Amino acid sequence: MDKLILREMHFSARHGVLPAEAENDQPFSATVELELSTARAGASDRIEDAIDYRKVQGVVRDVIGGSRKHLIETLAEQIAGRLLAAFPEVHAVVVEVVKPRPPVDFQFAGVSVKIRREQGGAAR
């Protein structure tokens, strides 16, 4: 299966369980992998035969820029569900949401969640 991958899209939003996370924007990033056939687009060289990655980014932006969520798991699930609904030709999506600087009292390189969802609701 082919993949269309949008790597490390960056956003600023207010998600998290801590009060400070509701008050101040934090950086988030997301990577999405869309599993689909790219053969038609590759042969035709026409955007009409491809998935316009600007629209993919718009879906991700709408979720991350939308209402506050407590968990990055929720963001990932909503992104996956909306991408599968918006692009029925996609067989499955892999979504990774990264919160690089959560406001915690220890140092680490951030936290991320990565999920894979298929058309029809299957997880793998």
- Tens of pLDDT, residues 74-91: 999 999 999 999 999 999
* Model pLDDT, residue 103: 78
- Does 124 fall in a domain? no
- Does 16 fall in a domain? yes
As for how many domains the chain has, the answer is: 1
Partners of residue 31 on adjacent β-strands: 96
Cα–Cα dist 53/112, whole Å: 22
Which band of pLDDT confidence, cut at 50, 70 and 90, is reported for residue 118? very high
Which band of pLDDT confidence, cut at 50, 70 and 90, is reported for residue 106? confident
Domain of 29 in residue numbering reads as 2-118
- For 54, left (φ over 0), alpha (ψ -120 to 50), or beta? alpha
Whether residue 99 lies in the annotated active site? yes
Instruction: Using only the alpha carbons of the chain, give its radius of gyration.
Output: 16
Which band of pLDDT confidence, cut at 50, 70 and 90, is reported for residue 123? low
- Does 123 fall in a domain? no
Which one of the listed residues 3, 55, 69, 99 is annotated catalytic? 99
pLDDT (average), residues 52-70: 97
Judged against a pLDDT cut of 70, whether residue 122 lies above it is answered with no
- Does 71 fall in a domain? yes
pLDDT (average), residues 95-123: 87
- Does 96 fall in a domain? yes
- CATH for 31: 3.30.1130.10
pLDDT (average), residues 61-82: 97
Q: What angle do CA 24, 61, 113 make, to 5 degrees?
A: 75
